[in-house]
Structure 1
Amino acid sequence: MGRKRKETLLDIALFSTWPTAGVISVGILFFGYVLVPALFNHNQFLKPLAAGLQPLFLILGCAFGAISLFKWIGQLKESAKAPSLEFGRRSLPLQSNKRYRREDVGNSNAGRMDPTCAPKDQTGNTQNEPKIKEWSLALIQSIEWKRFEDVCQKFYEQKGIRSECTPLGPDGGIDIRLFQEESTPQQATAIVQCKAWGSSFVGVKPIRELLGVMVHEKVSKAFFMTSGKYSDEAKAFAAPNRITLIDGAMFLAMLQRLPEAPRQQLLEFSTAGDFNVPTCPSCGTSMRLVQGKEGLRDFWGCLNYPRCRQTLGARRGTHLTTAYYQ
């Protein structure tokens, strides 16, 4: 077996997020136009060499800057097409920051009706709702993005693996860190990325970005967990790079193999309260479905509006249903 090729700056830029490529670009320009002249200017023989190298540093810096720009544009395009976690680019006025009744959310007048709160029992579940008794793929695909991350993290806890979720806000491509080496308790041995995209496919781009995060974090193994499925290109890329892909059906099988007590405990946690209403990525409160105006798509708006103007795109026909109850 041949020796594995070492990662280069180009590899890191290509397989990481756009800020990383941008930092590399700025670093190259700083090195070529600030550090090198500062080191060589005192020597009359090296000073011309430093000046002669500056065009090379300029070309390299612009090349990595172009990579960062293209990756940023690609991220914007992918965000616009994201099936369930699309960050809205508009801030339409919300009429109230109170929660609507479950049967009202998704109604054509949801953005204008009188707000009410459905009665909750002591566990946080709305009264008179059927209790979910078993795990199912439909249930996994209906869990909102933050609850899905928490369920994945608690699953690792049930398996005896120390883990922690990253805080709200920009996560750098990491949702969960796993710690399995007792000799280095503060150093994660693996990282996990979670995507609650319903039944949609995850393409190769998020998997490539996860590899870049692995290089940055200096971890040799990663897991990508989704409620949906993976494209063939994503599977082909993940296999040789020590990225384990776990789709919705596989995660369901893993949950069903848990002993009954922890399996039911995890089920109760995952279905408590409004588990299919998205959590605001900015402030962590619940969101509500708001009717798009003048033909625009409906979207999820933060309950803390106008203090928090975070929005998430909603898939067409989104409504809260009890179809997955058993």
Structure 2
Amino acid sequence: MARKRTSPFEDMILIVSKLPWWAGLALSLVSYMVLHAIASRPVMPSAATPGQMGDAVAKSLFTTMAMFGQFVLPIAFGFGALLSGISALRQKKLYDNVATRPGVAALNEMSWADFERLVSEYYRRNGFQVTREGGNGPDGGIDLVLRQKSETYLVQCKQWKAYKVGVQPVREFYGVMTARGVAGGYFVTSGEYTGEAKTFAYGLNITLIDGRKLREMIDVASKTVAVSAPSQPAVTPPVCPKCSAKMKKRVARQGTNAGKEFWGCVAYPKCNGTAPL
């Protein structure tokens, strides 16, 4: 099926929508400021000699383009940022929903696009900067680019549940990894791999992740360890220095120490013995 023809404006929105939403917003603001500064310049010098006319016409054309671009580009970048933000929220909701469902059934029920979003969110939550390239649909292309510190990794997603992933897609993926010179790659499927695919990947910088392994990874990442604040050691109340009875915490209501806690005798008002905390 032929790819639907789109305009440059739509292509720009699509490209920016694959970036983090804040990156698209930054592009929108910066493009407006830069183009607005250019568009604010005089279109034609007030006194141009014949030898300067050609240069003046070129500059005026550039300025005129900036006059339109100062609105078109920020709008395109803004739409892209909005789509990116919506996609990020949808991605988080999808991941949280899958995390609450046991087994691999949830992986098999989703579309290839949602499967890609799920994998993207997993790596994002595990410290990677994720850029979605989108591949070429459900059957090909690099889907995600991961960056962590100075290293880059590629990810290809296959939402195949009807049959096993063979060696050919894995071999092609490795070829792309080699051509780009990345640190490693992750081939993720909701199904399984053939023995030949596993043999090919053995010893290479490719990690094959099948549906069961992905499910385990999500389960482990989703478990939150409740780290409670260290309990304070129990403080034994002192004895009253006047009557040797027990003391309890009290709060001063007046004087220079108003609002501060202190130890007061439990026999108060019969005994007004006190001690500092």
TM over 0.5: no
- Bigger radius of gyration among the two: 2
TM-score scaled to structure 1, two decimals? 0.36
TM-score by length of 2: 0.43
Compare relative contact order (CA 8 Å, sep 6+) and give the higher one, 1 or 2: 1
Question: Higher helix fraction: Structure 1 or Structure 2?
Answer: 2
